[in-house]
A and B are shown apart, each in its own frame.
Chain A
Amino acid sequence: MNVSHLGQASPPLRRLSELRGPAPQRSLDARALAALAANPGCRRRALLDAAGVDKTALAQQLGRPAPFGQSPFAIRRGLQFESRLKRDGYAVLLAPLRRRLGVPEDEALSLAVPDLLPSASPAVRAERTAAALAEAAADPAGWTLLDHPLLRLDVAGSPAYLEPDAVVVHAGRCTVVEIKSFPVLDGSADPANVGAAARQAAVYVLALQEAAARLAGRPLSAGPYAVQDLPGAPELTVLLVCPKDFSSLPVAVPVDVRRELAVTRRQLSRMTRIDQLLAALPGGVTFDLARDASGTPTRPAGELAAAVAAVPAAYAPECISTCELGFHCRSQARCAGAVEQLGRGVRGELGALRTVAEALAAAEQGGGGGPEPALEEGSGLDEAAERLVYAARLRAEALAAGGVR
């Protein structure tokens, strides 16, 4: 799936395109959505994504490239799996949907697969998808499969495009379909994989809800669990299509994404609006890599790092597997001695102590003196620091008792 941003030239959009420089606008992918879910509070990523900056190239130029990539074997198998699905006339998708909707098995079914203009520009594709969706929703008896439609979603006040694998429309309602390469083994799939897929699919469902609301000229309902009663509205159960056991046979698994939908909505609403992020940005900041005629970036890494540092980040070790800038932000967190480098939970444990040096200094404050100096009145230590002193004493004592020190 892909996300990209509209190219209208309203002032914030103009500023966003300045941030990107002359490079082509990057669309976002499944990883961007995962990063959003993992770390909605990171303004740095939000802004870079909104500007459509190529974060992979940025990380490379900063000297700490992202470790992501896909094996050619995995890509090939994924393509094979998807083509097999199409070859069978999407039967594996339609059968469970028919069962859910109570359509008799033997009833003849003709499936419309409209042309969604896959090679057109994002704006045209999105419009084409919207039209095809409206048309399909108006025909309650027909079955329509939208193959790689392009959906629009507002992210932090800036429109983004998303591309699910497929959407099936029948009886005025649509169902999101995601094709995945992890197997359903003996009837169940790895919960971590299913969770990630559900979070991703929830974003598509949200985009479809917005589309249905737009189509009907009504605002999006406030309750995230409410099923929309509008033509073309999405089901809150999506279909994951996975290989069955160790075969390459596809199997469709319905997954209820209501919870993920609620979380996504909450996270999107919590994101700082892009115009505010732009307003907070010092003038002259740009992430332009200044590519020369041969396409080689010429922007000095130090300058680029300073530009990146102008946007506050919220680093956590999860970033390493979700965001292209993970290694760069980690090295910054390490240089700053930030306690977040040890894990997200550590911040909570250490309270107001924000750096490794501060935390160790607080821990050692208890050493040497009487039995419990930290407990004495007026020591000025907060609760977290006091516990740290206690922990440090227990640790030292235990190591000595164990003969380690």
Chain B
Amino acid sequence: MSLLSTLARLEAVRAQRAQPLATVRHRHLSERPMVLVPLAAAGESGAPLAVLLGTDREAPRLHFVPQPLNRTQRWEFLAAVAREVVPYLESFGDEVELLEGSERDPVSGEKVPVVRELCADAPQLVVPNAGGVSHLALLGRSTRFRRTVEDPDPGEYPSPTEVPLLGRWLTHLTDRAQVPGSSLLLAMTGLLSRHWATGQSNLEDQHLAARLAWHLPPAGLEPPAVGAAAAEWVESARDGDGLLLHPPAGPATDPKFDERVLAPAILRHDAAVAVRERAEAARDGAEVRRAAGLVEQAHAELARVLLAATLPTWHDVWRGLDLLRALPAAGHLPDRWEGDRWSFTMHRDRVAAGEPPQPRRDDAVTAARKLAQREREQARLEIQEALDDPLAMAERRLAGEAFAGEVVDVVPEWSAGRSPKPRPLLVVRTDDRPHADPGREAHRAHAEPAQRAEVVSAAPGEVVVRLLSGMGRRKDPEPGSVPEPGTAVVFTLFELAPRQSAPLPEPADTPWTHGGPPVAVEDAPAGGDEWE
């Protein structure tokens, strides 16, 4: 946490209300996001219990596993989720832009023109918190290798065909969510934390409803309030039965809820199913009908309690989206969203080409590529955010990596040589304290075209820089390219175009010592793995 965000937190404590950490919205928000509130069954990693999902705020749809230990019911649940999520994802695959480019022909080595497709828009999933992202990743891992009835060797428990497809998409989206600044899959707590400071710690901010309570009064709190007391209320207020008045955002459920509500409801459902099975075995028609009624009742009861456990969080996610949508979009969002669109398009193409699911573990080259990409994107994100948002730039100024001020004097000078170029000196009055040693390279923010400079001298209150580029090709600078006295300027001591990292070899060219060429990963039958 930087001192600036600490300061914002201090202000939030005093105001008992969230305080801005950004003046613009730094993440792309889709006009048609799909919100998911997943719940996991306790005790078993990645075991799904329920999910409330949909694209229509007024019409969330609940899916759940009536008996979380029952594998068949689990596959049915996942198939039902797949039938909601996959069509949503694929609906973005149809409308494309055609981009012309060129590629080197692998045989002739000549450049040949190619036309590539880029999906015009991409899907966006929003979950309540980071735990939701991890849960989706586990679901992806546990489903993408599933064999289906269509497999040549379907195995003992073939799953519906949509299930592995869902798994591959979830794996792709959760992987992409690791890329800084990406927006195909977002966690609401993370989004809110990027844009506002609360008067509590980072740890407490992971609780979606508690952190939202610093913005808006939580539903059900009388009298309505915001701030620490409201946050504590959603964290801990319980009814006479010991149940939380505001259920946690998941994926873990409250143990008391499991004990007092969920376990009995599951038990009743199990019992009703057992009665029906007995009646079916006895071929007792009247009893079968009665038992079917019992099962239906028990099922409806489970649906009711699970809806009650997810609906408040569903509303919280949408309220969070409301807050974020009220912020103006940052200038670089279309640029970064294009990266997401490429990511989506490429996965669409891999699925269409019938490529196998993502391997269990990345080979060395893929892992290195992903790491390099994340570092590159992190650098790009930091630059873009600083340019888009004075508060982000303030962070860099506080760190001594940038300075803002007013041009108080311009001294026209030229380079030596046969065709002298403009090299004007700018005297910038600034209250900032940049680490601006003479000779250090500086970059003028928001200059179009890019403008490089060199620090000539720095003293408290005044930095002198010499402009080196971005003034045209002639002896005299292009009009408007040199800021006049009185102009407000910002210079950064970091580059404004992210550096390209060294290219990595193509997988096929990688020596075997470094993991290439990739080998297809065998799908070991579930449970058949050797003990390690």
Contact = CB atoms under 8 A, between A and B. Distances in A.
A395 B6 contact: no
Interface string A301-329: 00000000000000001101100000100
B202 A343 contact: yes
Interface string B125-146: 0000000000000100110000
Contacts of A187: 361, 532
A325 to B, nearest CB: 13
Interface string B8-32: 1111011000001001100000000
B391 A356 contact: no
B105 interface: no
Contacts of A108: none
A399 B391 contact: yes
Contact of A245 (B204, B253, B254, B529): B529
Interface in B443-496: 460-461
Contact of A74 (B42, B199, B527): B42
B169 to A, nearest CB: 19
B431 A249 contact: no
Nearest to B14: A360
Given A72-B263, A363-B7, A327 B236 contact: yes
A343 B198 CA distance: 12
A71 B42 contact: yes
A359 B7 CA distance: 8
Contacts of A345: 1
Q: Is the interface of A mostly helix, strand, loop or mixed?
A: helix
A337 B16 CA distance: 12
B394 A404 contact: no
Contacts of B431: 371-372, 393
Contacts of B263: 72-73
Interface centre among A78, A182, A359, A398 (most CB of B within 10 A): A398
B45 A243 contact: yes
Contacts of B6: 342, 346, 349-350
B159 interface: no
Nearest to B137: A185
Contacts of B232: 327, 331
A317 B531 contact: no
B142 A398 contact: no
Interface string A249-266: 111110000000000000
Contacts of A403: 23
A71 B45 contact: no
Interface stretch (A45-53, A166-174, A221-229, A383-391): A383-391
B368 interface: no
Contacts of B404: 397
A356 B398 contact: no
A401 B433 CA distance: 19
B527 A342 contact: no
Interface of A: 64-65, 67, 69-78, 92, 95-96, 181-187, 243-247, 249-253, 317-318, 320-321, 327, 331, 334, 337, 339, 341-343, 345-346, 349-350, 356-357, 359-360, 363, 371-372, 375, 387-388, 390-395, 397-399, 401-404
